[in-house]
Every structure is written in C-alpha cells, then in structure tokens.
Amino acid sequence: MRILNILTITLLAALLSSCAFISSGHSVKQAGSIVDYLYPDAREAPAMTPTVTRLRPPVKVGIAFVPGAGWGNGTSEAARMKLLERVRDSFSKHPYIGKIEIIPSQYMRAKGGFTNLEQVAGMFDVEVVALLSYDQVQFNDSNALAVLYWTIIGAYVIHGDQYDVQTMLDASVFDVRTHKLLFRAPGTSQVKGSASMAGFSEKSRAAQAQGYNAAVDQLVPNLQAELDNFRERIKHDASYQVENKEGYKGGGAMDWLGLALVALLAGLAWRLGRRA
C-alpha cells in the first residue's frame, strides 16, 4: 500500500510537470504588410519619379485592408468591414470627399502590387485608395501563480493563463494614377488580461477584436489631423494640382482665390459706404 501511494504521488508530479510544459507560452500573429502587397519583388526601395498629382474634388475614395495572413485566427470578414466603416465615417465628414467605397477582402490579391490596386480602383470607380496594413501579436503565457488544489479525490491545478495583445494599424492613402503616397496615419493599442483555461479561447478572441477597435480609436483622429495637414500642404506644393469636378464649388485652389477676392471687394464696398 505504501509503495502504491509513492507511485501515485510520483505519477501525479510527472503529470503536473508535463502539464506545465504543455501550457508554456506561445504567440499568435496576424499581419498584412503594405510593402509586401505593393512591392512584392522589390529588393530595394523603389525610385520615386517626380510627377504632378492632379486631385479633382470631390475625390472618390476606396478603403481596404491589405491582404495578409492570420485573419482566420479569430477576426472575421464582418469584423473587418465594421473597422473599415469606422474609417469611412472619418472621411465622409468632409465635403471635398465624394463617394467612399469599402472594398471587400476577396478583391485584394496577396502580393498583387499596383496592378491589383488599379484593377480594384477601376472596378469600384475610385481615384484614391486608403490601405490599412496591420500587425497584431497575441502572447499567451501560463501564469506562474497557478494554484494547486488537493481534494479528497485527487489534485487539481487551476491555471490563470495570461494574454497580451499588441496591435498596430497604419492607414496609407495612395493616388491610384500616379502611385503616390499622399499621407498616412498610425494607430496602436495594447490589451492585457487573464482567463481560466475553460474561457481562455473566447476571451483571447475578444481581446483581439478589442485590440483592433482600440487601434482604430487612435488611428481616426490621427487620420483627421493628417488629412487637414495634407490640405494645407498642397496649397504650396507645385507637385499637386487641384481642379474641381463639374458642379463642385468648394475645396479647390480657385475657391480660395475667389473667397479672398470676395473678401477684398466686401472690404472696399464697406469703406466706400462709410465715406459716402
């Protein structure tokens, strides 16, 4: 009986140590690189040819995620579309932005380059495309403070597994015709938490979604600020030309000149009125 007890304790210790080994930390990665998508065969930075970029407000914009790997680990196409809708809403507030098309993932070909981008832009009738690249890493580690419970029928180990989800989003806005990067804006987030073994998968998937939403929370105001900076920059940059589409009355270089002329004439009229 004594020998049996010793064997039982030894077996339990071996099982517990093997469980600790099996539940050692690992990571899950989701990534979509804009460099891999647009320049799949480039071995060095592409040479940028000086060219004039013509913008015709209201500009037609497409929004899409860069194709990549790892979405099947927990982020669905429906969740991606909701993220793109939030980015779309940040563009739609501006009168110089025309229609905004959300481009589903199935139209974006991995390593498709500007050829694929031009095809997609033609299909959805857009002139500018905002590409969202992403990099999310989830580190899963077994908590060193796991508790060992002894009961009348044996030993139980209660694991408190930890997760740490780090997410990076980057919105890069390209003119399709000239392949020129107009502006970009980043967003990052970090989500930490823990869960029992039974609920770990569900909570870790929720943490992935929370990580993307928190990154978009940061990206949207950054995108707004960069869009405003871009509007100011093109007023003094000869490499850009702004020409309004027919029927559009605001946002172009001629409109600023027209407003200045109206203000000047109004001032002259006010002075002449005072003299009279």
Element (H, E) at 10: helix 2-22
pLDDT tens digits, 153-184: 555 555 555 778 889 999 999 999 999 999 99
In a domain, 4, yes or no: no
In a domain, 271, yes or no: no
**What pTM did the predictor assign?**
0.73
Structure confidence at residue 274 as a pLDDT band (50, 70, 90): low
Count of structural domains within the chain: 1
Whether residue 257 has pLDDT greater than 50: no
In a domain, 229, yes or no: yes
CA–CA dist 3, 72 (Å, integer): 50
In a domain, 142, yes or no: yes
In a domain, 9, yes or no: no
In a domain, 84, yes or no: yes
CA–CA dist 32, 49 (Å, integer): 26
pLDDT of residue 199: 59
In a domain, 17, yes or no: no
Positions of E strands within the chain: 26-32, 53-55, 59-65, 97-102, 128-141, 147-151, 154-158, 160-175, 180-196, 240-242
In a domain, 275, yes or no: no
Look up the domain containing 97 and give its range: 27-264
pLDDT tens digits, 35-51: 899 998 877 666 667 78
